């Protein structure tokens, strides 16, 4: 047999195996007959793949399904303990760390503070220490460690594992994934933090059955993840989805990126705090967090209500542009900033109604899912887990399946 023919057969087998794994991921529990119907593969192909995956403990049998006449069907699902992943959400002076199984269940979580040293090697050394702590928490029952995922704000060249630009650390073209991988014996992946949340939603959340959707986050910063035809859209250098840095106010306040009038500079949580403190300087200490401002808004403070409404309106204007351009079926609103609730979200909805073209808004479902540090870290772990389900046609893949 020629290597060309053998290579094609190996590719087809890998694609079929990926299809079976992804069908089980989306549907959770299926019989062999249901799996055959939903995958579109032949009975023989499905049977062969199931035998292989059972032998490698990637899937498990969990008993028989309900009796519907004829022979009872044995049910199959993914083995949640087939492997585990470590997720690291890297922030300016903190790292959130989570260990999850391949079903996305958090097995371990811890938050670490560190001194604000932006030196890449110093941060890499800190991440190594954190990973060692996490490794001590993983037991044999959680399966082998599949890898480590890092989520960080900025423009990330994910295929190369490079931080192309980090607004918080001032980094340019830092090979952080390779730096950490050189110190460890497992793969390390890095991605824009909002993209990691988007991947988590695709694997385990509201995006699981969606072909085209977006995840828009608001909090310390503002960002967006984009999925088109089931594929994460990163752009040519990893900068796709930088919603927070579109200009919404000419000659507006200065943004952390150095430009003026960015959405992030007028609508993020720090922008809300700054807006309130400029107008209520006597209450600067009492109104120094979004939570305090929200409490004051609930108590009737007009400036705090105005600040949150202004933020929501600008956020809605920006989102309307994205809906006009992408026409997604789903928009997931996430980040710690959505906890401001209707004080921010109602003005956002009004702006969407006002600025979205024709009836495109009617075809977009909105889901609100607040994300705390634990969720961000889980998203980073999902970056690793996604490699298990990635198409063999993709550039990066786990080859040991």
Q: Are both 380 and 365 inside the same structural domain?
A: no
Q: Are both 36 and 162 inside the same structural domain?
A: no
Q: Are both 251 and 160 inside the same structural domain?
A: no
Averaged over 259-275, what is the pLDDT? 96
Residue 39 lies in a domain: yes
CATH code, domain with 70 = 1.10.10.10
Residue 394 lies in a domain: no
Residue that terminates a domain, selected from 78, 112, 133: 78
Summarize pLDDT for 312-348 with one digit per residue, the tens. Answer: 999 999 999 999 999 999 999 999 999 999 999 999 9
Residue 195 lies in a domain: yes
Query: For the chain, what is the domain count?
Result: 3
pLDDT number for residue 398: 37
CA distance to 21, 85, 101, per residue, from 387 (Å): 12, 11, 13
Residue 399 lies in a domain: no
Residue 37 lies in a domain: yes
Q: Are both 168 and 304 inside the same structural domain?
A: no
Residue 292 banded pLDDT, cuts 50, 70, 90: very high
Q: Are both 250 and 357 inside the same structural domain?
A: yes
pLDDT number for residue 69: 54
pLDDT number for residue 223: 96
Residue 208, pLDDT > 60, answer: yes
Residue that terminates a domain, selected from 56, 78, 100: 78
Report how far residue 339's alpha carbon sits from residue 322's, in angstroms, rounded to the nearest whole number.
22
CATH code, domain with 125 = 3.30.420.40
Return the structure tokens found at 296: 């004051």
Contact indicator for 328, 214 with CB cutoff of 8 Å? yes
Q: Are both 8 and 153 inside the same structural domain?
A: no
Q: Are both 322 and 229 inside the same structural domain?
A: yes
pLDDT number for residue 140: 59
Range of the domain at 104: 83-201+375-389
Query: What's the whole-model pTM score?
Result: 0.90
Residue 400, pLDDT > 50, answer: no
Q: Are both 122 and 93 inside the same structural domain?
A: yes
Residue 62, pLDDT > 90, answer: no
Contact indicator for 240, 225 with CB cutoff of 8 Å? no
Neighbours of 184 (CB within 10 A): 17
Q: Are both 366 and 379 inside the same structural domain?
A: no
Residue 395 lies in a domain: no
Q: Are both 366 and 226 inside the same structural domain?
A: yes
Q: Are both 161 and 303 inside the same structural domain?
A: no
pLDDT number for residue 393: 63
Instruction: Tell me the torsion sign for CA atoms 386, 325, 220, 340.
Output: negative
Q: Which helix (H) or strand (E) holds 30?
A: strand 29-31
Residue 396 lies in a domain: no
Provide φ and ψ at 88, rounded to 5°: -125, 120
pLDDT number for residue 68: 57
Q: Express the helix, strand and coil content of the chain in percent, nearest 5 each.
A: 45, 25, 30
Residue 109 lies in a domain: yes
Residue 4 banded pLDDT, cuts 50, 70, 90: very low
Q: Are both 91 and 192 inside the same structural domain?
A: yes
Residue that terminates a domain, selected from 20, 55, 78: 78
Neighbours of 71 (CB within 10 A): 8
């Amino acid at each position: 047999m020629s290597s060309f023919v053998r290579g094609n057969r190996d590719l087809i087998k890998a694609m079929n195996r990926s299809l079976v794994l992804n069908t089980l991921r989306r549907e959770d529990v299926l019989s062999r007959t249901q799996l055959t119907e939903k995958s579109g593969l032949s009975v023989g192909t499905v049977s062969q793949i199931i035998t292989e995956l059972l032998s490698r403990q990637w899937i498990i049998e969990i008993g028989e399904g309900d009796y519907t006449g004829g022979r009872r069907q044995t049910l199959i699902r993914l083995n949640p303990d087939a492997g585990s992943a470590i997720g690291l959400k890297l922030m300016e002076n903190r790292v959130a760390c989570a260990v999850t199984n391949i079903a996305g269940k958090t097995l371990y979580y811890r938050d670490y503070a560190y001194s604000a040293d932006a030196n890449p090697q110093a941060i890499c050394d800190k991440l190594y220490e954190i990973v060692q702590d996490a490794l001590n928490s993983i037991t044999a029952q959680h399966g082998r460690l599949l890898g480590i995922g890092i989520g960080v704000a900025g423009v990330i060249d994910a295929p190369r594992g490079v931080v192309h630009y980090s607004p918080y650390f001032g980094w340019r073209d830092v090979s952080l994934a390779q730096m950490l991988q050189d110190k460890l014996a497992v793969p390390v992946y890095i991605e824009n933090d909002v993209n990691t949340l988007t991947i988590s939603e695709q694997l385990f959340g509201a995006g699981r059955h969606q072909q085209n959707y977006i995840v828009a986050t608001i909090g310390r910063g503002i960002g967006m993840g984009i999925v088109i035809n089931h594929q994460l859209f990163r752009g040519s250098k990893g900068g796709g989805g930088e919603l927070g840095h579109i200009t919404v106010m000419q000659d507006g306040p200065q943004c952390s990126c150095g430009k003026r009038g960015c959405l992030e500079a007028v609508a993020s949580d720090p922008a809300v705090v700054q807006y309130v403190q400029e107008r209520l300087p006597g209450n600067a200490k009492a109104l120094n967090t979004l939570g305090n401002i929200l409490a004051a808004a609930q108590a009737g403070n007009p400036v705090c209500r105005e600040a949150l409404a202004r933020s929501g309106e600008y956020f809605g204007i920006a989102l309307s542009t994205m809906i006009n351009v992408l026409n997604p079926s789903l928009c997931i609103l996430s980040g710690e900033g959505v906890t401001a609730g209707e004080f921010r979200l109602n003005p956002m909805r009004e702006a969407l109604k006002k600025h979205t073209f024709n009836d495109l808004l009617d075809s977009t479902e909105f889901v609100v899912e607040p994300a705390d540090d634990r969720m961000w870290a889980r998203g980073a772990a999902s970056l690793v887990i996604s490699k298990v389900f990635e198409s063999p046609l993709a550039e990066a893949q786990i080859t040991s399946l």
